[in-house]
Structure 1
């Protein structure tokens, strides 16, 4: 470190506990700058282009990020940091600084953070060296001030400047030396006047903080950058050990679009062809002049996933994106999507191996994802029927498994929450922005986001528009008002106000880019499917009669209920009174049991049809309306909002096959109304709590005057009618409907206001980063952090264990460790993972605010899980013990778990009677 004064080299950057070694500050800063240079070279073209356009070219952009990474810990050259050597037990380090003329006190009253101090000094240095306007200087200073994940306020910066002026001589000179040396080394010296002459876009500032944090974390890894004497090629050696993959770079594919489909999705078969919608989607992606948003509205089962992935590959190749993010409504829908996206990636020609990540709280329990872990890979990751075994195009890299790093992998599949978190005013949110900005962002079933979630989604879309990040949104049943909200949110960030086209077409592709907004209608091949709608009484006798009569000659029937308790009741009745197989599926099964049921249903009722039973009734909840590719001969559903009923109808006659006698024509029977003949009709309390009276009244009105629907032609008309401002209902319902609409409007306004408490600032109203992230949102990576982007109370999750009298064991039929003894010590890794899979979310009746404390107390008293705290799989979890027969008690309620019903929570009165 010959370029440095002895005073500068005496400042410490990192200590090794009570050991004798430490890392000088200037060496850590140099490490960070060297790491940044390598990271910058790996950034996808879209990020490098954004920076180059804003900062004066590629060389200037590289100098910018390397300079700021090199000075990120500038504030450690201060009394406020240096004195910490004493409480850390390293007076030798403090003595070395003292010997070089730097006053190191034994204590500092109210020490300021080094990121805050670094920002204050950098702004001061720019003013002295370059006569910089203070506001423009903050555009660079805020990057240093935010490198720990949050940004100081203007008031804090004033206080920091005062604190720095009160330091004795020497410290400011060291900080100036650091600034001067790294301005020269990074090449920033040649560009600083230019950068300070005009505003640096806030999106560049945010992404730079993300890159600086990455560089700092890598340079702080003692395994990669050991303490002790410096060695030659230090950064090069470290980065070779780390071996981070570069940006995804799909090879341009030319030729027949049908061949593109077959080569990317070989499981579709050698004769597969693009349908009209897919062909149009490919064309629109190929002809977009600039990166933009594509909103695809098309019927259920029409190939939207393949659509989106083909378009994502084209957009990534054309505009230089480094990966994809695919967001789904739930963990249960994310898991099968992970397998689909992984298979697609393995068939996209690209340069080098990239990284993939499954992003949700239970990702480690996904067997396919777990099999891609670095320590689990023992063989080539894929087998292709045509080319034999070969290395996978995307695999899991250990670095991206670390806390807060998951979104930085090249490809991420997870819940929509992972994207919505980028709209939170939460610490380290810049890493989520960096992760999303470098990818083509795909969000499926976007209609599932309620008004609370859409508040975050719209803000994220505005930021993505600023970044120029391509976005693909998909839905089969999107209300027109929501479509407009989403298109405008992206346009606000990308191009400002645009004239949105009006169209009644369906399917339809809306596109927004720098050229404006367009809508392209598509004619689907084939005829509409005409589905008869029939209302039936809600009584069990009526249900049994309808099902029994209609499947006399065979048939596969789906019965969808709005609540778990209702589905369990229907299952019990049908199981007793029908002479056929009856299966129940809902969210209160242990994850392995639910996954096995879903896989079995797809195998028997899916597109292949090889194992299709002659007679079966599948009773389920909303889990049947999302993502499962299953096909029923007859659908029976509780009344629900129209868009969700259409999703359910999408599982009716979904595939082209012969049908049993009497079920040749698709029909949907609608129940779940206490009395169809009252004005207005009355609904079960559970349905009203979930969906609200307003949407149920609107849906009931449509059902009452609609004897059949044509799928897909009628989908947009019905959805638009259900969501229009004034409810279209019979005159006799008018007063009740208006009151319900008023209540729903107030509730929606309340949701939006609550979401605003945690909402990240609009990029159009932010010029610098001061106070950008210092709000009330907690860390999304913490337990239950996802609740901040969903308007719901925390559910209480428990691990189910079996108490057999001699101790506890793992439940049956959950995998290799089924029935295994748990013991009283910390469970080993595989056993702990098996236990972690046996989780259930308790219903609201046992997790509501009025009862949750009592429930937790009882759970903690019943099963001692103190040994679990040493296991990363089980730490912080609670256990619910049941007998070998699956029976337990909690808060005065009898609880039963069995393989047929899942979790049953009986009422307190019933438990007392028994």
Structure 2
């Protein structure tokens, strides 16, 4: 099929089994499709709000039409000879359509023709600053996910693609797009009216919105087929765009109307609200709120109630519930899915689990959805697939109307990565809920501060949740990232109400504790066993004999595995150790993805709210601190920062239920170092010698020392009454800054240097506030840039293996820090070797074993 000779050229092709073009969509039609989606997106309440906030003006329908004209021009680069030649499989001199536009900006003759054809003076007259026409055009050309970076020195290589030949004139062909713009958006070309303030913020919003529109407008299998029955493509495209936005869940008008009839808290959740839930279920004028309440106090339901009232009021169009880990997101997803079904019914908007590798839509794994090739005769399957549009790629996760995922997906919206602008305009629509907001290092805190500030400035809504947020972190989150935050004094910080809600202006509202809010008295028992874990085995044996369920949380995976092996040597304890699919095992993060899913389910069954009363010992790492609904009779834990300790205590006697004799009171045994002052943790040069994760996993030894001093020889704390006191007494700068003698001063300076370095690294990772044309992205690896550290390796297996827990494994996972320096291979050194308890393999010259104990290196002592 000859398509190159068409006057305007082709925009989209379909090919037969041989690769030959069998059908095509004219370029003008494709550009009309995308511009129509863009224009429809501009009408959505939350998107319109963000555009107005970015431009600093109330945008009229004519303003939006004019932005849509710029959107329509996004693929003008496809007019060049090299791109049009791609229709012919035998063509050799082919080209792309983005960087190849450079001659139209740099070549004197071509740029003059280009300016005349696109009516540059008309476009410039629409803008408050006429020189912004260039940045808006470049933002339009940047629809593939990154800002276009023209090479001002090598553009001549593309010049020949724009020179006219005997068949067609590429620059002249652009006039077809301009005419399509006149026909599709005629009101844009009427009298000038008020100009658009094309600020840098608006340019960035425009670019992200166009990326989203281009993805939807290119959906030829469903929304925008090549052929239509309407009188014109513009008429068809307007109708198709409206339907597409409803189908994928971007247009939530029907859902909002339905939700307004189901706004009662008790009706949605099945129980009356607590004071915290009642407070958040009421309207608020604040764009950002911080809700602090103890673990298990119903913060999730409070957040969902807050989203619901904001959604009904039209303040947000979507929800993104961000958690610190994939495990936490998977655990919460089912609760959010149940909430959505209660509020919206079965016909409500799609609900996405936005975790790469685990993604699901409406409770069904995304990889189980029908293949696009099998949809032509099944309308029901087609709708199911189209509802899952946002789940098909992680870059589109934030486009879902209701999504649960990790904080990483939200942070990517502010960073120099592909499609960050698309992520950002999608998140602008959302109520952003960040759970466990304290659970991040200084690097992630820097990214989060910037994200919260942008969300607040664009008119978005955010709710930050924590049980253990310190005053220093709270002040930082509420202060613009370009300003130094001021932390209230320690006594003032400790006097703040708890539970409470803090607004973005710093106002604090105390929340009463309802009658259902149970206080829990916990006895902290120190024991000098950090260096010798086996010292607690006799006490474990007595607890098991009494029928207790014991949770042991250690700071490092190596300690977890070592202690698991030691306990297994005790014949009595070996009978009550946690198991998954009849395999005794610990719980930590060094398991394959499918095994972790299996283990998490087994943990919830064995130690959850409804678990049977039977002796059990579960040994694990920080993976047990949050999200999993664990109820232990007794908690044993390594010494750790007090805010982390409170998280672990949240798994101790979590529910009201019968306790074995001797365990009626909540007891937390803390494994302490022989020297709780931490003085021995420095070598003769003042460098830190880590012990059990103190000094590396938890780098600030000052907090560890303060926590040890707080525990002393043993003390009782009342949860949640003492939460604020415990956190501030151990993390507040007024207390940590008191250690300035000897090696402590060097330790302080080293921590400060790391904090500054992390802040600078975070700043360098963020999208610069620059106009398109000047905007440049650094190269970042999307797998690691939201968290500092080495890239983890996922190496595909040539032949699937069966895991120790009976799961099919298609890949092996190796944490980046375990990999030899400089190794980045995507294959193993050789085939894995099967063993009785699992298998071993070599990667990058190192040997690893994967067994019921997880992943271990076996070529080191």
Please classify the TM superposition score into its range, dividing by the shorter chain length. Answer: 0.7 to 0.9
Alignment match, 2:806: 814
Q: For 1:611-760, list aligned pairs within 5 A.
A: 611-613=612-614, 615-671=615-671, 673-676=673-676, 679=679, 684=691, 686-694=693-701, 695-704=703-712, 707-725=715-733, 727-728=735-736, 734-760=741-767
Stretch moving more, 418-427 or 178-187? 178-187
Alignment match, 2:794: 797
Alignment match, 2:309: 314
- Gap change, CA 1:531 and 1:218, over 3 Å in 2: closer
Structure 1: runs of 5 or more not aligned? 1-5, 95-105, 267-271, 378-389, 779-783, 802-806, 816-833, 864-879, 910-914
SS at match of 2:512: coil
Give the TM-score normalised by structure 1. 0.77
Match of 1:482 among 473, 479, 483: 473
Deviations 1:305-325 (A, max 9, x none): 111111111111113422211
Q: Residue 582 in 1 paired to residue 606 in 2?
A: no
Match of 2:782 among 771, 781, 785: 785
Q: Distance in 2 between matches of 1:835 and 1:887?
A: 11
Q: Residue 770 in 1 paired to residue 773 in 2?
A: yes
Q: Distance in 1 between matches of 2:309 and 2:360?
A: 32
Q: Distance in 1 between matches of 2:293 and 2:537?
A: 34
Alignment match, 1:150: 146
Alignment match, 1:862: 830
Q: Residue 299 in 1 paired to residue 271 in 2?
A: no
Match of 1:397 among 371, 387, 401: 387
Instruction: Please report how far the alpha carbon of residue 753 of structure 1 lies from its aligned counterpart in structure 2 after TM superposition.
Output: 2.0
The answer to whether the 8 Å contact 1:701/1:729 transfers is no
The answer to whether the 8 Å contact 1:727/1:737 transfers is no
Stretch moving more, 520-529 or 748-757? 520-529
Alignment match, 1:380: none
Q: Distance in 2 between matches of 1:443 and 1:734?
A: 38
Stretch moving more, 738-747 or 147-156? 147-156
Q: Distance in 1 between matches of 2:796 and 2:173?
A: 55
The answer to whether the 8 Å contact 1:796/1:841 transfers is yes
Match of 1:127 among 121, 124, 138: 121
Alignment match, 2:442: 451
Alignment match, 1:903: 855
The answer to whether the 8 Å contact 1:356/1:397 transfers is no
SS at match of 2:88: coil
Deviations 1:392-437 (A, max 9, x none): x999724323333222121221111000101211222111012211
Q: For 1:341-490, list aligned pairs within 5 A.
A: 341-349=336-344, 353-364=348-359, 368-370=363-365, 374-375=369-370, 397-403=387-393, 404-489=395-480
Instruction: Please report how far the alpha carbon of residue 173 of structure 1 lies from its aligned counterpart in structure 2 after TM superposition.
Output: 5.4
SS at match of 2:665: coil
Q: Residue 523 in 1 paired to residue 518 in 2?
A: no
The answer to whether the 8 Å contact 2:361/2:388 transfers is no
- Gap change, CA 1:551 and 1:861, over 3 Å in 2: closer
Q: Distance in 2 between matches of 1:366 and 1:639?
A: 40
Deviations 1:282-306 (A, max 9, x none): 23xx2x23x6111111111111111
Q: Distance in 2 between matches of 1:108 and 1:528?
A: 69
Match of 2:212 among 192, 211, 214: 214
SS at match of 1:436: helix
The answer to whether the 8 Å contact 2:7/2:173 transfers is no
Q: For 1:493-642, list aligned pairs within 5 A.
A: 504-512=496-504, 516-525=505-514, 526=517, 528-538=519-529, 539-550=532-543, 552-577=545-570, 579-580=572-573, 581-583=576-578, 584-609=586-611, 611-613=612-614, 615-642=615-642
SS at match of 1:441: strand
Give the TM-score normalised by structure 2. 0.81
Alignment match, 1:868: none
Match of 1:263 among 263, 267, 270: 267
Q: Distance in 1 between matches of 2:451 and 2:95?
A: 41
Q: Distance in 2 between matches of 1:146 and 1:367?
A: 33
The answer to whether the 8 Å contact 1:13/1:76 transfers is yes
Alignment match, 1:825: none
- Gap change, CA 1:444 and 1:23, over 3 Å in 2: same
Q: Distance in 1 between matches of 2:804 and 2:211?
A: 45
Deviations 1:360-419 (A, max 9, x none): 222258994317954399xxxxxxxxxxxx99x999724323333222121221111000
Q: Distance in 2 between matches of 1:488 and 1:735?
A: 34
Q: For 1:118-267, list aligned pairs within 5 A.
A: 125-127=119-121, 133-138=129-134, 140-152=136-148, 174-175=173-174, 178-179=177-178, 182-183=181-182, 185-189=184-188, 193-194=192-193, 196=195, 199-224=197-222, 225-226=224-225, 232=231, 235=236, 243-248=247-252, 249-251=255-257, 260-266=264-270
Q: Distance in 2 between matches of 1:192 and 1:498?
A: 54
Q: Distance in 1 between matches of 2:153 and 2:510?
A: 54
Deviations 1:799-858 (A, max 9, x none): 689xxxxx974235435xxxxxxxxxxxxxxxxxx434x6443573x31426x46xx59x
SS at match of 2:569: helix
Q: Distance in 2 between matches of 1:345 and 1:395?
A: 19
Q: Distance in 2 between matches of 1:367 and 1:56?
A: 37
Deviations 1:616-671 (A, max 9, x none): 22111101101111111211110112211111111112112232222222221111
SS at match of 2:405: strand
Deviations 1:875-896 (A, max 9, x none): xxxxx44324325354787754
Q: Residue 841 in 1 paired to residue 814 in 2?
A: yes
Instruction: Please report how far the alpha carbon of residue 207 of structure 1 lies from its aligned counterpart in structure 2 after TM superposition.
Output: 2.9
Instruction: Please report how far the alpha carbon of residue 136 of structure 1 lies from its aligned counterpart in structure 2 after TM superposition.
Output: 3.6
Instruction: Please report how far the alpha carbon of residue 83 of structure 1 lies from its aligned counterpart in structure 2 after TM superposition.
Output: 3.8
The answer to whether the 8 Å contact 1:477/1:646 transfers is yes
The answer to whether the 8 Å contact 1:9/1:26 transfers is no
SS at match of 1:346: helix
The answer to whether the 8 Å contact 1:116/1:157 transfers is no
Structure 2: runs of 5 or more not aligned? 373-379, 579-585, 682-688
Q: Distance in 1 between matches of 2:534 and 2:207?
A: 64
Alignment match, 2:685: none
- Gap change, CA 1:471 and 1:702, over 3 Å in 2: same
Q: Residue 334 in 1 paired to residue 329 in 2?
A: yes
- Gap change, CA 1:894 and 1:777, over 3 Å in 2: closer
Q: How many residues align?
A: 796
Instruction: Please report how far the alpha carbon of residue 476 of structure 1 lies from its aligned counterpart in structure 2 after TM superposition.
Output: 0.9
Q: Distance in 2 between matches of 1:893 and 1:91?
A: 47
Instruction: Please report how far the alpha carbon of residue 445 of structure 1 lies from its aligned counterpart in structure 2 after TM superposition.
Output: 0.8
Instruction: Please report how far the alpha carbon of residue 33 of structure 1 lies from its aligned counterpart in structure 2 after TM superposition.
Output: 3.0
SS at match of 1:787: coil
Alignment match, 1:384: none
Instruction: Please report how far the alpha carbon of residue 447 of structure 1 lies from its aligned counterpart in structure 2 after TM superposition.
Output: 0.9
SS at match of 1:668: strand
Q: Distance in 2 between matches of 1:167 and 1:678?
A: 74
The answer to whether the 8 Å contact 1:115/1:147 transfers is no
The answer to whether the 8 Å contact 2:287/2:456 transfers is yes
Q: Distance in 2 between matches of 1:490 and 1:354?
A: 35
Q: Alpha carbon RMSD of aligned pairs, Å?
A: 4.3
Q: For 1:13-52, list aligned pairs within 5 A.
A: 13-14=11-12, 18-19=20-21, 22-40=24-42, 43=44, 45-51=45-51
The answer to whether the 8 Å contact 1:887/1:897 transfers is yes
Q: Distance in 2 between matches of 1:217 and 1:509?
A: 39
- Gap change, CA 1:887 and 1:395, over 3 Å in 2: closer
Instruction: Please report how far the alpha carbon of residue 721 of structure 1 lies from its aligned counterpart in structure 2 after TM superposition.
Output: 2.9
